[in-house]
Amino acid sequence: MGSTTKDAVLKIDDLRTYFFLAEGVVKAVDRVSLKINEQEALGLVGESGCGKSTVAHSILRLIREPGRIVGGKILFEGEDLLRKSEAEMRKIRGGKIAMVFQNPTSSLNPVFRIGSQIAEAIKLHQNVQKHEVKKKVVEILDKVGIPSPSERMKDYPHEFSGGMCQRAMIAMSLSCNPKLLIADEPTTNLDVTIQAQILDLMRILRKNFNASILLIGHDFGVISEICDRIVVMYSGKVVESADLGTIFKDAKHPYTKALLESIPRLNIETERLRVIPGDVPELIKPPSGCRFHPRCEQAMEACSKKEPALIEIEQGHEVACLLYG
Amino acid sequence: MNSRLRTNSEKKNGKVHRPSRATRLFVVWRKLRKSKLAIAGFGIVLFMSLVALLSPVIAPYSPDLPSGSSRMPPSMEHIFGTDNLGRDMLALVMYGARISVYVGIAAVLIEIVIGLSIGMIAGYFGGIIDEVLMRVADVVFTLPMIMMVLVAISMFEVRSINIIILVMAVLEWPFMARVVRSEYLSLREATYVEAARSMGASNWRIIVRHILPNILSVMIVLATMDIPWFITLEATITFLGFGDPMSSSWGVLLERGVSLMSTAWWVITFPGLALLITSLGFNLLGDGLRDALDVKVRE
Amino acid sequence: MTMKDYVIRRLIVIIPTFFLITVIIFTLVHLAPGDPTTMMGGARPLREDVKEKIRIEYGLNQPIPVQYLIWLSKLLHGDLGYSYISSSSVVEMISIRIPLTVELVLTAESLSIAIAVVLGVIAAVKHHSIYDSSCSVAALIGYSTPDFWLALMLILVFAVWLGWFPTSRPETVGLTFATPFYALLDHLKHMFLPVLTLVAVWTAYLFRLVRSAMLEVLTQDYITTARAKGLKERVVIYKHALRNGLLPVVTYVGYSIGLLFTGAVVVEEIFALQGLGQLMVQSSEARDYPALMGLSVVIAIMVLIASLCADIAYAAVDPRIRYD
């Protein structure tokens, strides 16, 4: 990695998060490294089960038994989060690093009002007078586009639609001006039209709040709306990382290429959609060598024996594939 | 408030989707075998059933005739001691098992028949029939069982165990009916039912071949949970003096034993322990079945 | 829908429910063949003409539906009739006994809920620990224990053998001259074993309920959100999780009032406490027809009120239910 760490808000080094199950050890995140710069939006892409959500949870140390972070470093503003005490982590969670989840309606506590849940976050991380809190809640709800915020803050989550719940979640996470916003599949469970609205919102907010974003998803279309750089994960490992343009025009890793080709495109005539054959590998007994080799069209003899390392093939573009070194 | 029993099947597009019956049975069997508690429960139930079945053969003495002196403490000849008439307690407890097992099974069978019918009727016809049935069910369910049973049986001249069984079982129908109904309603919308319907299967065929077998797993769990409830309730009612004093039900033994309590502790301890262990066995088994069949009872 | 609307709706439903209850009770009492005159007279059954006189006097010769309506109209005026056995007014008989039963049931239930919630939450949080397993096993045993047998065993051990507690009655007979404090102490000593019996069995069931409810709640998404907000684990559990986890408990308490009464009957009878339960047993034994019906209605009403309170409590805690 040639770029300096001067601008990096988040730098993950060699992260390993394993799940210790009765059937065996699942290496959900196996030596993952990535970097997010100041005010940058990084997209983390991959199929279900590739470990991207686990990376997100690991950053905030939300991993619970039977999972455990077993190694690596997570440097946030220069400090290793894995060395911090629980009390220090609590200050960071919801404060400097905030997270938005996949199921907005079920991610909000059904028995508390929206306003009070947001207020809870504000009271926790900011030194705000009691009477000021309500004002701030209304302010932030307004900023995320919730109509009549002072009325609607008294509502309960089940009175909000899916899209509105997600806005409220985003409001909650932005209310304390985080430096890093982690969004774990924020639009996956929403209607396509609502998806577009939420993405628009996130784009605007990114500008106004100067936060870095880690956007996790499996849909390239969604990711490309906001992100500057993309990291592709497969079976617990990073297989490629580059900026948005490069990925779309010049993807090198066979998996990335296959992912891109399986996106249906309206302007290109194809007979059948390109499908990646095979199934996502079992993480307890992953394939030997390169994990993608059983499904790879360009697999070579060596691919089943040697695990490729993540190598920078050009400025800002890394690939883990034996085709390139 | 509804009692909703939801089976843990995948929801695809909001509809219920289930793997084939053969695989499910295998998975259930495997889970059951793994649970030590379920096995223990099954063992106890089996043991009690065998005792009940074989008591005339294996009882050391006759339960009706005195076989020792009155109020002998537990000893080698009389493991559970004797009662005030010199009858062997072990034999009495063994014969008591017959009554309890009979009560449990008979009551549950009656309950199943009534509860299943009413639940299916309510689910199938819907509308006003459903409303009315469920309203009545709610009320009957909330009223104290013991009050209703006592009120019903006290006016009978005869004290008979069959009357107790009948009244208990009939009054318990809401418990099963509501669950059957909600399970039926959710299964009706299942994808495979839709598939069968689209291939032209008649309503009756769908109910019998597709829905009933799946309601079965739910009913098995409920039945296993209700058996100890019936056994204990019968014992309680008999203990309070409303049972047949000629039978050797554990309730009768306990009723007789109260006056002897301070001088002959074994007369109440062992029948009660037998009751406890029997209930425990069924409860363990019921728990195990519920986990294995992946059934969530929402009260 | 606001709470007020919800409460009003629930109150309106009570009226048809009440009538349904009266029908059910009346039906149950009349299930047996014959009429009450067959039971009267004890060892020597009454002569037919005497029976006929009694029938006319008590209105038992009327067709059943008419009898029902007569009884119902009297009921609505607060007249529950007179006991066949003691000739005192049923209303009087019942009112004297209400306080004791209420005291017994409320005390036992409150204690059970308190203990079960504390133990259950800890067990759920410490899932798979020794604490969890041992509590669960203890709960299973407690829940399988017949309450009347437990009462007897407790009497045997603590009253007969150890002599720590008295065996029966709510207070020592003839204690009218004692100071209030001493009287209270005496009362507590007498109520200890009865309450303990009920608490043992009820806590067991409630514990299982709380534990399984909390276990399910702790896997929910909003708990992860709460942690991601930076809340202390204690707050996550006792504020976010508990409130949701207690919902099934409230529902259960509402439904199980009937079960509570069943336990009360047994305990009152064994410990010779003059409550409604004991009256129920006595009236049933004596086949005291008006007392039986009146008592059942009163008990049913109490159960109805209790479950209404539970419903309202539930709606107060869970906003989703008000929109059903």
pLDDT score at B14? 45
Q: Which residues of B touch C287 (CB under 8 A)?
A: 154-155
Strands B295-298 and B4-7 turn out to be antiparallel
C145 neighbors C139 (Cβ within 8 angstroms): no
Tell me how many degrees the CA angle B227-B229-B235 measures, rounded to the nearest 5.
Answer: 105
Fill in the amino acid letter for B65: L
Distance from CA of B197 to the nearest CA of C (A): 31
DSSP state at residue A281: P
Q: How far away is chain C from the Cα of B147, in angstroms, using its nearest Cα? A: 7
* Model ipTM value: 0.87
Q: What is the mean pLDDT of each run of 10 residues along chain C (324 residues)?
A: 80 88 87 69 69 73 80 82 78 89 92 94 90 91 93 88 77 66 82 93 93 92 92 92 90 85 91 90 85 89 88 85 65
- Looking at the DSSP bridge assignments, the partners of residue A13 are A73
Flag if B157 and C34 touch (Cβ within 8 Å): yes
pLDDT at B297 over 60: no
Between CA B91 and CA A2 the distance in angstroms is 88
B298 touches chain C (CB under 8 A): yes
Read off the tokens for B72: 């002998």
Task: For residue A320, count CB atoms less than 10 angstroms from its CB and return exposed for 0-12, middle for 13-18, buried for 19 or more.
Answer: buried
d(CA A224, CA A308): 27
Those residues of chain A whose CB sits closer than 8 Å to some CB in chain C are 60, 62, 89-95, 98-99, 101, 103, 106-112, 120-121, 124-125, 156, 158, 169, 172
**Does A2 or C230 have the greater pLDDT score?**
C230
Distance (Å, rounded) from C-alpha B128 to C-alpha B3?
Answer: 19
CA B239 to chain centroid: 19
Judge contact between A40 and A6, C-beta under 8 A: no
Q: Among all residues of chain B, which has the CA nearest to that of C213?
A: B298
> For residues A146 and A167, what is the distance between their CA atoms, to the nearest angstrom?
7
Give the model's pLDDT for residue A281.
Answer: 67
Using the beta-carbon criterion (under 8 Å), do C140 and B150 form an inter-chain contact? Answer: no
| Contact call for B241 and C296, based on CB within 8 A | no
Residue A199 φ/ψ region, left for φ over 0, alpha for ψ in the -120 to 50 degree band, beta for the rest: alpha
Of A111, A60, A109, A108, nearest in space to A81 by CA: A60
Retrieve residue A218's tokens. 């499996």
Q: Which of C32, C257, C307 sits opposite B156 (nearest CB)?
A: C32
CB C223 within 8 A of CB C236: yes
Q: Please report where in the chains the tokens 């990695």 appear, as a residue.
A: A1
Closest among A67, A65, A44 to A218, alpha carbons compared: A44
User: Which chain B residues have a beta carbon less than 8 Å from that of C266?
Assistant: 146, 236, 239-240
- Chain B, 123 to 152: residues with Cβ < 8 Å from chain C are 135-136, 139-148, 150-152
A241: nearest Cα among A253, A226, A254, A223? A253
* Cα–Cα distance, C94 to B176 (Å, whole number): 33
pLDDT tops 60 at residue B11: no
Lowest mean pLDDT among A172-181, B89-98, B165-174, B182-191: B182-191
Which residues of chain A lie closer than 8 angstroms to C317, CB-CB? 111
pLDDT value for B76 = 80
How do strand A8-21 and strand A97-100 relate by DSSP bridges?
unpaired
Nearest to C228 among A99, A106, A120 (CB): A99
Q: What is the pLDDT of residue A130?
A: 83
Q: How far is C317 from chain A (nearest CA, A)?
A: 7
How many angstroms separate the CA of residue B169 from the nearest CA in chain C?
14
Report d(CA A150, CA C138) in Å as an integer: 50
Across A304-308, B201-205, B208-212, B278-282, the highest mean pLDDT is recorded for: B278-282
The distance of A158 to chain C (nearest Cα, Å) reads: 7
Chain A residues with CB-CB distance to C225 below 8 A: 101, 107-109, 169
Place of tokens 């249906």: A264
Contact A60 C225 (CB under 8 A): no
Do chain A and chain B touch with ≥3 beta carbon pairs under 8 Å? no
Task: Please report which helix (H) or strand (E) contains residue A296, including its range.
Answer: none
Average pLDDT, chain B: 81
Of chain B, the percentage scoring pLDDT greater than 70 comes to 86
User: Which amino acid is it at C261?
Assistant: F
d(CA B293, CA C119): 27
The counts of H helices and E strands in chain A are: 10, 12
Decide if B42 contacts B285 (C-beta within 8 A). yes
Contact across the interface for C261 and B157, Cβ inside 8 Å = no
Q: Which residues of B touch C17 (CB under 8 A)?
A: 135, 139
Residue in B141, B151, B239 nearest the CB of C284: B151
A8-19: string of b/e by CB count within 10 Å (b at 16+)? bbbbbbebbbbb
Cβ–Cβ contact C246 with B under 8 A: no
Classify each residue of A135-146 as buried b or exposed e, where b means 16 or more C-beta atoms within 10 Å of its C-beta.
ebbbebbebbbb
What are the extents of the domains in chain A? Answer: 8-96+176-324
How far apart, in Å, are the Cα atoms of A119 and each of A112, A114, A126, A206, C278?
11, 9, 10, 22, 54
Rounded Cα distance between C209 and C204, Å, is 9
Q: What DSSP state is assigned to residue C178?
A: S
Instruction: Give tens-digit pLDDT for A196-226.
Output: 888 888 888 888 888 899 999 888 888 888 8
Burial of C162 (0-12, 13-18, 19+ CB in 10 A): exposed
Per-residue confidence (pLDDT) for residue B18, from 0 to 100: 52
- The reply to whether residue A93 touches residue C227, judged by beta carbons under 8 angstroms, is yes
Closest CA to C146 of B96, B214, B167, A222: B96
- Averaged pLDDT for residues A56-76: 90
What pLDDT, on a 0 to 100 scale, did the predictor assign at position B23? 61
Tokens 């508990």, located at residue: C242
pLDDT at C50 (0 to 100): 75
Q: Which of B139, B262, B272 sits opposite C146 (nearest CB)?
A: B272
Under 8 Å CB pairs connecting chains B and C tally to 156
Q: In chain A, what residues touch C220 (CB-CB under 8 Å)?
A: 106
Angle among Cα B6, B119, B220 to the nearest 5 degrees reads 55
Position A7: which residue type? Answer: D
Q: How far is CA B185 from the centre of its chain?
A: 24
CA angle, C223 as apex, C222 and C226 as ends, to 5°?
85
Q: Which two tokens stand for residue B34?
A: 């793994």
Residue window 81-120, chain B: list those with CB within 8 Å of chain C.
none
Query: pLDDT per residue over A133-168, tens digit each?
Result: 888 899 889 888 889 988 999 999 998 988 899 999
Write down the pLDDT at residue B254. Answer: 92
* Token pair in block for residue C161: 């053998």
- Number of Cβ within a 10 Å radius of residue C196: 18
- Residue A156: list chain C partners with CB under 8 A: 319-320
Radius of gyration of chain B (CA): 22
Residue of C nearest to A101 (CA): C225
CATH assignment of A8-96+176-324?
A: 3.40.50.300
pLDDT for res B158: 76
Q: How far is it, in rounded angstroms, from Cα A192 to Cα A286?
A: 34
Burial-class residue B45 by CB neighbours within 10 Å (0-12, 13-18, 19+).
Answer: buried
Q: Which pTM value belongs to this model?
A: 0.85
Report the distance separating Cα B64 and Cα A73, nearest Å. 79
- Kindly give, in sequence order, each residue whose CB lies less than 8 Å from that of residue A148, ignoring residues fewer than 6 positions away: none
**Tokens coding C321:** 């239910």
Does C6 contact B at CB distance below 8 Å? no
A225-277: pLDDT as tens digits: 889 999 999 888 898 999 888 888 888 888 888 888 776 665 556 556 666 76
Q: What is the mean pLDDT of chain A?
A: 85
Q: Above pLDDT 70, what percent of chain A?
A: 91
Q: Which residues of C touch A106 (CB under 8 A)?
A: 220-222
Which chain C residues are closer than 8 Å to A89 by Cβ?
230
B residues 64-83 near C, CB within 8 Å? none
Q: Residue A315: count other Cβ atoms within 10 Å of its Cβ.
A: 10
How many residues does this entry show for chain B? Answer: 299
Please check whether residue B155 touches C, CB under 8 A.
yes
Q: Which residue has the tokens 């291939």?
A: B199
